[in-house]
A and B are shown apart, each in its own frame.
Chain A
Amino acid sequence: MESIIDLTDVHKSFVKGSEVVEVLKGIDLAIGKGEFVALMGPSGSGKTTLLNLVGGIDRATAGDVVVAGEDIGGLSSGDLAKWRAANIGFVFQFYNLLPVLNAERNVELPLLLTKLSAKERRRNAATALQVVGLADRARHKPGELSGGQQQRVAIARAIVADAPILVCDEPTGDLDRETADEILDLLDILSRDHGKTIVMVTHDPKAASHAKRVARLDKGRLTQEAA
């Protein structure tokens, strides 16, 4: 399978006071186009840090991070932002919707960076909301939506610009079981029917079971990969 994410000997360390903390210690990971991969591991194992590197919101201390054909370690801050807009959709545990905007406008946000007209932006946002089953909640603000609905809006925002990769950080961590299953089913559909590559950090084995592959991290090292 052609890989869309290639991490080679990736290291990441942080400086805390006078101490250097190495969070990732030589990660090698390849993820194929359209794959649904779960990253699991105990707290502090480096899952979110690895996800941030894949999503281009942090930089590796050493090693190569090649995502969607681009060695993103060499991109300037501005180019990295453009690259994220084109290639990555983010889904967070706490949804991170903007409370002052209604669902449609939250979804429309990434399209402000494109050359689409206002009419086209609205149409695309409406389509994305339809895909996640929330067309009838377009005018509702996040505060007027349930947790599951907010996460659906966040997913709609992640796919509206047709990014090939979805980076999900504990997307069901704040949801009850039933709602979590609905969200995971939605991610399944996006992977299976829309060809999205999904990298999902989770603590939940049930959530991880939706992935085609599970990568386990412990103390900054990839310890095990399971199909």
Chain B
Amino acid sequence: MSPVGFVWANLHRRPVRTYLTLCSVLIAFSLFVLLRTLAVVFVGGNDLASGSRLVVSGKYSIIDSLPISQQRAIAQVDGVDAVTHQTWFGGNYQDPRNFFPKYPVEPRAHFDMYPESVIAPEVLEAFARTRTGAVAPAELAAKFGWEAGDKIPIEADIWPMRDGNRRWEFDLVGTYTFKDEDGAQPVFLFNHDYFAEATGIRGIVGWYMVRIAEPQRAGEIAKAIDALFEHSMNPTKTATEDEYSRAFAQQVGDLGLMANSILSAVFFTILLLTAVVMHRAFRERVPELAVLKTLGFSDGRVALLVLGESLLLCLFGGLLGICSAFVLTPVVALFLEFLRLDFELHWPTVGSGLGIALALGLVVGVPPAVAARRLTIAEALRRN
């Protein structure tokens, strides 16, 4: 029997209590790793682009569609240079894990709107001419081994074709790249006309992208656009991409605050729970600790044994929690696919989880350890 074995045996004095506490610690640390990872992923994903573009979406929700008739009205607003539209398509390529965003767009207008996207003129021409044509970011095409001329099957989840068929097939006419990969949005693009024709849903788009010549007038132009539709059936909310980015960052901030609030509550509860358990365990064993001292265990050694129990409990529970977070990560990643987030555990988060487990073990273990150290043998044996 080693000292660690002795500590482990002591933890099994009341197995139900120990394992319930262990479960609480496990869940707390699993939550910690997953929530912190989520916050990190959100913070890492909000590096969006310029102030010369506006986003016009539904006033109440970005999932509300807008009538295509608004495009012409927006184009006529003073200061608007160009307008195009995009729609969220969803759908899966072979497997839900192969997630990438897919938008039906107006080919020429789209690449005119995004000068940072680079496409060969002949590819753009082919894209515009081919009813079922599609273009993909070069990196995405390389990932799946696509080449121009390939048929790309997409299983629709939101938009079935009007005959009920959910299997769409697109003809890949080529690829495009980005001048600067930072902040680039790798989207699989296909022709909106084909989308409207195949679904039978004409005159509906997801949102508008608006280019303005004078970014300093963005606020004024956004107000003018929203004023156009204020009393219509489809009121809009217009913001610059920067504002969108800031709003997103604000949401991330709120998410971080929310995650921290939840974790604080969870850890405070775990702290109290574990502290109560360790204190009870200590009080139950006062005579036994005195016996250890009679056998020659020094005050410090007895204190270390008591501290070791809480450290072992918290570190073991924390480690199990972190392992379970690893197991749960692919599941959470699946749920977050629609947000285009790459949900992966980060080692610093894992490290801080272990650090917190250590700190928790110390915080709940030090008071009983100090009490054990101060225990006088004769006094404690009299309690027996």
Q: Do the two chains bind?
A: yes
Chain A interfacial positions (CB closer than 8 Å to B):
49, 52, 55, 57-58, 77-78, 81-86, 88, 90, 92, 94, 96, 98-101, 105, 108-110, 112-113, 118, 121, 157, 161
Given contacts A83-B296, A118-B1, 14 further A-B contacts (CB under 8 A): A52-B378, A57-B294, A57-B377, A81-B301, A86-B296, A96-B288, A98-B291, A100-B10, A100-B13, A101-B6, A105-B9, A113-B295, A113-B301, A118-B2
Contact B298 A100 (CB under 8 A): no
How many angstroms between the C-alpha atoms of A86 and B296 in the bound complex? 8
How many angstroms between the C-alpha atoms of A53 and B318 in the bound complex? 45
B3 within 8 A of A: yes
Contacts of B301 in A (CB 8 A): 81, 113
How many angstroms between the C-alpha atoms of A84 and B381 in the bound complex? 16
Q: Nearest-CB distance from A169 to chain B (Å)?
A: 9
Contact B298 A109 (CB under 8 A): no
Q: Nearest-CB distance from A110 to chain B (Å)?
A: 5
Query: Which residues 277-316 in B have Cβ within 8 Å of A in the complex?
Result: 287-288, 291-301
Contacts of A88 in B (CB 8 A): 294
Contact A101 B1 (CB under 8 A): yes
Contact B296 A110 (CB under 8 A): yes
B12 within 8 A of A: yes
12 residue pairs from A and B, CB less than 8 Å apart: A52-B378, A57-B293, A57-B294, A58-B377, A58-B378, A78-B300, A81-B298, A81-B301, A84-B295, A84-B296, A96-B287, A112-B1
Query: Which residues 202-257 in B have Cβ within 8 Å of A in the complex?
Result: none
Partner of A96, one of B6, B298, B384: B384
Number of residues in B with C-beta < 8 Å to the partner? 26
Partner of A90, one of B9, B294, B297, B384: B294
List the A residue with the shortest CB-CB distance to B285.
A98
Contact B293 A81 (CB under 8 A): yes
How many angstroms between the C-alpha atoms of A84 and B377 in the bound complex? 12
Chain B 1-36: CB-based contact to A (< 8 A → 1; otherwise 0): 111001001101100000000000000000000000
Q: Nearest-CB distance from A119 to chain B (Å)?
A: 12
Chain B interfacial positions (CB closer than 8 Å to A):
1-3, 6, 9-10, 12-13, 287-288, 291-301, 376-378, 381, 384
Contact B297 A81 (CB under 8 A): yes
Contacts of A52 in B (CB 8 A): 377-378
Residue among A92, A105, A112 having the largest count of chain B Cβ atoms under 10 Å: A112
Contacts of A92 in B (CB 8 A): 291, 381, 384
Contact A90 B2 (CB under 8 A): no
A108-B1 contact, Cβ under 8 Å, with A58-B378, A96-B287, A101-B9: yes
Q: Nearest-CB distance from B340 to chain A (Å)?
A: 53
How many angstroms between the C-alpha atoms of A92 and B287 in the bound complex? 12
Contacts of B381 in A (CB 8 A): 57, 92
Q: Say whether chain A's binding surface is mostly helix, strand, loop, or mixed.
A: helix
List the B residue with the shortest CB-CB distance to A89.
B295
Contacts of A77 in B (CB 8 A): 298-299
How many angstroms between the C-alpha atoms of A110 and B294 in the bound complex? 10
List the B residue with the shortest CB-CB distance to A98.
B288
Q: Nearest-CB distance from A182 to chain B (Å)?
A: 23
A55-B13 contact, Cβ under 8 Å, with A96-B384, A98-B288: no
List the A residue with the shortest CB-CB distance to B293.
A81
Contact A85 B1 (CB under 8 A): no
How many angstroms between the C-alpha atoms of A90 and B294 in the bound complex? 7
How many angstroms between the C-alpha atoms of A208 and B10 in the bound complex? 37
How many angstroms between the C-alpha atoms of A151 and B377 in the bound complex? 20
Contact A99 B13 (CB under 8 A): yes
Contact A78 B299 (CB under 8 A): yes
A57-B295 contact, Cβ under 8 Å, with A101-B1, A112-B3, A112-B6: no
Contacts of B384 in A (CB 8 A): 92, 94, 96
How many angstroms between the C-alpha atoms of A58 and B331 in the bound complex? 61
Contacts of A161 in B (CB 8 A): 296
Contacts of A110 in B (CB 8 A): 295-296
Contacts of B293 in A (CB 8 A): 57, 81
Q: Nearest-CB distance from B306 to chain A (Å)?
A: 14
Contact B298 A157 (CB under 8 A): no
Contact A100 B9 (CB under 8 A): yes
Partner of B296, one of A85, A98, A105: A85
Q: Nearest-CB distance from A60 to chain B (Å)?
A: 12
Contacts of B296 in A (CB 8 A): 81-86, 110, 113, 161
Contacts of A86 in B (CB 8 A): 296
Q: Nearest-CB distance from B110 to chain A (Å)?
A: 71
How many angstroms between the C-alpha atoms of A108 and B13 in the bound complex? 18
Contacts of B297 in A (CB 8 A): 81, 85, 113
Q: Nearest-CB distance from B78 to chain A (Å)?
A: 82
Contacts of B292 in A (CB 8 A): 109
List the A residue with the shortest CB-CB distance to B382.
A48
A100-B12 contact, Cβ under 8 Å, with A57-B378, A112-B1: yes
How many angstroms between the C-alpha atoms of A99 and B2 in the bound complex? 17
Q: Nearest-CB distance from A91 to chain B (Å)?
A: 10
How many angstroms between the C-alpha atoms of A105 and B99 in the bound complex? 57
How many angstroms between the C-alpha atoms of A157 and B295 in the bound complex? 9
List the B residue with the shortest CB-CB distance to A82.
B296
Contact A78 B295 (CB under 8 A): no
How many angstroms between the C-alpha atoms of A101 and B10 in the bound complex? 8
List the A residue with the shortest CB-CB distance to B9.
A100
Partner of B298, one of A57, A78, A90, A105: A78
